[in-house]
Copies of this chain bind each other. A is one copy, B any other.
Amino acid sequence: MPDPAAPAIILSEPQLGENIGACARAMANFGLRDLRLVKPRDGWPNPKAEAMAVGAAPLIAAAQIHGSVDSAIGPLRLVFAATARDRAMAKPVLTPTEAARRLREAASNSIPTGVLFGNERAGLTNDEVAIADCVVTIPTAGFASLNLGQAVLIMGYEWFKSGNATSSERIDHGAAQPAPREDLIRLFEHLEEELEKGGFLFPPGNRPGMIRNLRSILHRAQLTDQEVRTLRGVIVALTRGKKRNPSPGGR
């Protein structure tokens, strides 16, 4: 579901339709939908942009076309310029994470925002950077060759993350829940009883530590109800038809 307060993505003089389409797809993945094109080189509409956009076709259809960056950003109140290199113009340079945080903060105050990207060949001109509030630069290793679609992808990803409450770790249980402790305890007891019979818990002095280690392994696995039943079946299968009570230590 696209967020009405999400930033506009403004592409200044983009060259290849494929790249415009790739930007639209990157945007759609992260809930951005306001695409503004300043003087696209190959005119508009552009069938290659439409072909590359695939499922993001509505963004392409709704894209605004402008004759200048000033017109494209005119109604916006907070504008960041995405650049790969420093311009020595005493302007704050933000990480994408920090930029997304500020865009999200502005959005929550209903302040219209946008991020401006230059063309594939040369990026933004210094004049274009000068009219932005801040610069956003994606940190990269020595080798830096992010293309336009990749830069929009990362900015979109950070935007989405800044408002997304996915917990950093969740367990994909499907319908299943972590097993109740009582079922785990019965599993432990079943296993330990069979290990006792098999002479594994020997010598007796080591028994408490061995049991703690085994229980710790099984706890760490965060078993579901079904998995507890599966492991009980495993124990039954492993012990079926087994000779009982071998001599202690005979494991």
| B-binding residues in A (CB < 8 A) | 1-2, 25-26, 28-31, 54-56, 86-95, 97-98, 134-135, 138-146, 150, 153-154, 157, 160-161, 164, 166-176, 222-224, 227
Contacts and interface: CB of A to CB of B under 8 A. Distances in A.
Given A29-B145, A56-B143, A139-B166, 8 more contacts: A1-B141, A26-B150, A29-B146, A30-B141, A31-B142, A135-B172, A138-B157, A157-B157
Contact of A171 (B25, B93, B146, B153): B93
Nearest to A159: B141
Contacts of A172: 86-93, 135
A171 B25 CA distance: 32
Given A146-B29, A150-B26, A154-B157, A171 B140 contact: no
Contact of A161 (B97, B144, B171): B97
Contact of A176 (B1, B86, B90, B92): B90
A160 B143 contact: no
A169 B139 contact: no
7 closest pairs, A vs B, by CB? A88-B174, A98-B168, A31-B141, A28-B143, A86-B172, A139-B166, A93-B172
A146 B156 CA distance: 12
